[in-house]
Structures are given as structure tokens and as C-alpha cells.
Chains A and B, each alone.
Chain A
Amino acid sequence: MEFWIELLISVLIVAGAVFVFVGSLGLVKLPDFYTRLHGPTKATTLGMGCLLVASMTLVTNQNGFLSLHELLITLFLLITAPVTAHMLAKTALHHKLDIAEKTHDKALSKQARKRLNP
């Protein structure tokens, strides 16, 4: 394998790992459940994307034919991540989980729980 391809793959893997790590770090660090939701839904999508592109380049280069498996994983990830986040947020509203003190328009969460108009 040529040097620059190896370099590209390594950079992608490291970047992906950094994003997944930051997403997980958000779970530990952020103040309440709703803010914690943002980490895994967003920072992780790009992280996984980088890892999958790296895998695509590597396999395509080793086998000599285009490997498009990974596109499917990306597609499923893009479909499932927002749905999971939505279900978790809905559940959190339903269980009346604590909301960080300085959140604006906290009262809206009550309306949202009852599915009323604001």
C-alpha cells in the first residue's frame, strides 16, 4: 500500500476516534439529561462516518474492488440516531427528569409532555 493512502487512513481513524471520544465525554460532563443527549447524537455520527470511510478506503485498496458495505452502516446510523434521540427525549419528558437550572423556557417542557400547543 502506498504511503499516502496509509496516512489518509490513519488520519481518518484518529479523527473518528477523537469525535467518538468527545461524544462520550459529553455524557460524563454535561449538566442534565437533555444536554447529554446532544453528545452521542451528533459528535458520534461524524466519528463513525470517519471510521467507516477509513474502512472503505482500506478494504477497497486491499481487495482491488470498491467496497460499499460501509455506506449501508452510515445510512442505518443516520436513520437510527435521531429516532433514538427522539425516543430518549420523549421518555425523559414523560419521567419528568430534572432540567438544568438555567435552561430557558423550562415551562415548555410541561406543555411538551402533555403534547399541547405552547
Chain B
Amino acid sequence: MRANPRFRWLPMPLHSLLLLTVWLLLNNTMAPGHLVLGSFLAITIPLLTSGMQNPQPSFHKPFTIIRYVFMVLGDIVVANFEVAFLILGPNKKLNPAFVAIPLEIEFELPITILASTVSLTPGTVSAEISEDKKWLYVHVLNLTDKDELIAQIKSRYERPLMEIFQC
């Protein structure tokens, strides 16, 4: 994971690919001129910025990533309906709560992705993380069973992320 002192033309190949894709999407075109300009940007920007990179665990298991993304997208739709119904229902029925979730996953990037997923999906918003990065505090809009919620987040979101980052 240490920064490589040897000079490389593509220090961050994934970032380069992402930059090129985003450039082409932004311009909504596949014109050769934009391909050249986009490739130029995709090569130069990582060369200039790779020195500022914080070492992060790398991605493994591309199929797990794809499955995770689609699972989260599906869960976002479900969560949207749930929250919409909760908002339209009476306030008295709501059962808000703070819950602390113990984290097994390590490193900043995986925790950030987990916290973002938790905010986007079941009726939860991640509020804070403990200093030693072992606990994630979330606010739940309608709590039914605390242990079940923790177990669900751990098995549904944390486990695949641990597989993806192998940590």
C-alpha cells in the first residue's frame, strides 16, 4: 500500500478511466476530439495529484462490487417507499432512536462507503463515528428491533464490503 517512488505514467489507472468516462458523459459525446482531450486530462490529472493520495485498501472481487451496487440501488428504492410512508403516517407512530453499531471493518474508505450506504438505505442516517473508528452512531427513524437492525446492517452491508476490501 506504500506510495511507489518509481515514476509511472498511469499512477491511478481506475481514476484515469473514471475521469475519461465522466468527461465523455459531461459532454454527452463520443467525438474523437473529446476522446483526445479526455484522455489528456485522464493522464495529466492523476500524474499531478497522485502524490497527495492517502493509501487506501484496494478493491477486490469485481463481481461482489457489482452485486453490492445493485443490491444498494434496490434497497434505496425500498427505503424510499418506507420513509415516504412513515412521513405520511402519524407522528405518534414513529419510534426514533439512536443506535451504536460496532464496526469490524477498518480503514477510512470502507467505513465511508459503509456510512454512506447506511445513510441512503434503511430508515437510518449515520450521525457520528467514534474516535477509534470502532463504533458508528446512527439515527433511526422508526426502530422496531435494535439487535435485528444491527445484525441486518452487519450481514447485508458490512460483510460484502469486508470481502471487497479484504480487511
Q: Do A and B come from one complex?
A: yes
A interface with B by C-beta (< 8 Å): 19, 22-23, 25-26, 29-32, 34-35, 37-39, 41-43, 45-47, 67-69, 71-72, 78-79, 81-83, 85-86, 89-90, 92-93, 100, 102-106, 108-109, 111-113, 115-118
Partner pick for A113 among B83, B120, B128, CB 8 A cutoff: B128
Chain B nearest CB from A86 CB (Å) reads 5
Q: Is B44 an interface residue (CB 8 A)?
A: no
- Indicate if the CB atoms of B25 and A111 lie closer than 8 Å: no
Q: Is B135 an interface residue (CB 8 A)?
A: yes
Q: Is B49 an interface residue (CB 8 A)?
A: no
In the complex with contacts A25-B87, A89-B125, A108-B99, A34-B139 CB distance below 8 A = yes
- Indicate if the CB atoms of A102 and B80 lie closer than 8 Å: no
Sample of 19 further A-B pairs with CB below 8 A, known A35-B94, A89-B128: A23-B87, A25-B87, A34-B125, A35-B96, A38-B139, A42-B79, A43-B84, A45-B76, A45-B80, A69-B26, A72-B26, A82-B115, A86-B125, A89-B127, A100-B96, A106-B98, A112-B98, A115-B131, A117-B132
Q: Mark B128-148, 1 if CB is under 8 A from A, else 0.
A: 111110110101010100100
- Indicate if the CB atoms of A112 and B125 lie closer than 8 Å: no
Chain A nearest CB from B100 CB (Å) reads 4
Q: Is B16 an interface residue (CB 8 A)?
A: no
Partner pick for A112 among B76, B83, B115, B137, CB 8 A cutoff: B137
In the complex with contacts A41-B125, A45-B120, A67-B28, A31-B94 CB distance below 8 A = yes
- Indicate if the CB atoms of A89 and B98 lie closer than 8 Å: no
Partner pick for B25 among A72, A90, A118, CB 8 A cutoff: A72
B interface with A by C-beta (< 8 Å): 22, 25-26, 28, 76-77, 79-81, 83-84, 86-88, 91, 94-100, 115-120, 123, 125-132, 134-135, 137, 139, 141, 143, 146
Query: Chain B contacts of A22 at CB under 8 A?
Result: 84, 87-88
Chain B nearest CB from A98 CB (Å) reads 12
Chain B nearest CB from A53 CB (Å) reads 12
With CB as the reference atom, state the residue of chain A lying closest to B132.
A117
- Indicate if the CB atoms of B131 and A116 lie closer than 8 Å: yes
Task: Show 9 A/B contacts (Cβ-Cβ < 8 Å), sorted by A.
Answer: A37-B139, A43-B87, A46-B80, A79-B116, A81-B119, A81-B120, A82-B119, A85-B126, A86-B116
With CB as the reference atom, state the residue of chain B lying closest to A110.
B98
- Indicate if the CB atoms of A34 and B96 lie closer than 8 Å: yes
